[in-house]
Amino acid sequence: MKKLYYSIGEVSKFVGVEPHVLRYWEQKFTQLAPSKNRAGKRVYTDSDLELICKLKSLIVDQKYSTAGARKALDESSQDKEQTELPASVVNDLQKVRVLLNDLLSRI
């Protein structure tokens, strides 16, 4: 199932939760904010699907409360933000920045 956008019915069948559960999760988790089309219907992207699968795993499979799942999501997003690049990569990126700034000044 590879599309640009999915309807709430398609997501519901794919993930295995009722549409009302998806709407409830949308209220409880700020990370889940599907767009709406011209008709006002929710449209979900692949990243929304990933988040919904993660929520289902936390809430349904692992029996987290919504507050616990929110905390787990917040912690996992903080872990991703705090991962540091190795010093060699930072050094290489700084060299690239200097090179690009030099090229920009020549234009």
Tens digit of pLDDT for each residue in 48-98?
999 999 999 999 999 999 999 999 988 887 755 555 667 777 777 888 888
Q: Are 14 and 1 in contact (CB under 8 A)?
A: yes
Strand ranges, E, within the chain: 35-36, 42-43
Instruction: Give 80: exposed, middle or buried? Use CB within 10 Å, 0-12, 13-18, 19+.
Output: exposed
Predicted local distance difference test score (pLDDT) of residue 80: 59
Q: Strand, helix or coil at 44?
A: strand
The whole-model pTM stands at 0.70
CATH 1.10.1660.10 is right for the domain spanning 8-106: yes
